[in-house]
Amino acid sequence: MTSQSITAAAAGTWTLGDLTVNRMGFGAMRLTGGRPFHRDPPSDRDRVIAVLRRAVDLGVDHIDTASFYFSPLRSANELITSALAPYPDGLVIATKVGPGRDPSGAWLPMARPDQLRGQVEENLRQLGRDHLDLVNLRVMRLDSVAEHFGALAELREAGLIRHLGLSGVRPGHLAEAQAIAPVVCVQNRFGIGAAEEDHAFVRLCGERGVAFTPFFAVAGQGRVSGASGDDAEEVLHVARAHGVSAAQVRLAWTLQLGPHMLAIPGTGDPDHLTENVAAGALRLTDDEMARLTSLRDPGA
């Protein structure tokens, strides 16, 4: 089987509440340009629209986005709408609220609980939806999420949101939110080299039946700048053994940590998209998994 013929179904499925998705998804952050939170040149509109359509053709049915994913001339939500609306049946679009940016791109303070409805409605408008499939509360320096998550739970009861998740949180935040309303996923920074406490949180989510969706799983320390190419020798060794890229090893490792693990690699490059999706079919040995899991990055 060639990488071009592998679809997102190779990664298996997980159910977010009542929505079943392939575990290999797509992250929209990089669609707007090199680094959406900086003044990099805008992306090629036709190219990224083609990538989005190709992703769906390859079986990707879970797209992660946010209204604050924009750069000069480009908005991730607008690109998604232009490429995919009217949306195919079964496509799940997850978004985030909490942070905000002004038109210049500068970050605004964390939204107050009473401001979250406005952010939800802005995502609805940009995406052309009458409800949002999944909204993650992106936590920015909050000791307690009770008021913010409670406000989102009210919007869920009102029918504006189908399912709720959390992003950038600690175990205590998860417990606090679960006491208010069901939490279908946690979205945190995580990847090879993560600290043991982060691995423990991944396991806790699995025990509670909560999906774990890591961001920067491929980029690592490169974060919003993308993969740095400075991979550990252990990662490169596994990649050579399988004849694949280091990025594909990182994605395969993520998915093999547990059935509740989802992947949302993002790219504006059609070749990278094909490689990312093909990583869902890569199976690492138990020894390779153990060696990669034992790695620790002092900067993680």
Q: Is the pTM of this model over 0.85?
A: yes
pLDDT value at position 297? 74
**164 vs 34, 37, 70, 122, 155, CA distance in Å?**
29, 25, 23, 17, 10
Token pair 């993969």 is found at 227
Is 87 assigned a catalytic role?
no
pLDDT value at position 226? 45
pLDDT value at position 33? 76
- Degrees (nearest 5) of the Cα angle 121, 127, 132? 60
pLDDT value at position 1? 47
pLDDT value at position 38? 56
Amino acid at 168: G
pLDDT value at position 35? 59
143-196 pLDDT tens trace: 999 999 999 999 999 999 999 999 999 999 999 999 999 999 999 999 999 999
What confidence category does residue 273 fall into, taking pLDDT thresholds of 50, 70 and 90? very high
| 4 pLDDT more than 90 | no
105-125 pLDDT tens trace: 899 999 999 999 999 999 999
Catalytic residue among 14, 69, 215, 216: 69
- CATH architecture entry for 3-294: Alpha-Beta Barrel (3.20)
39-98 pLDDT tens trace: 566 679 999 999 999 999 999 999 999 999 998 889 999 999 999 999 999 999 999 999
Query: Which bin fits 220, alpha (ψ -120 to 50), beta or left (φ > 0)?
Result: left
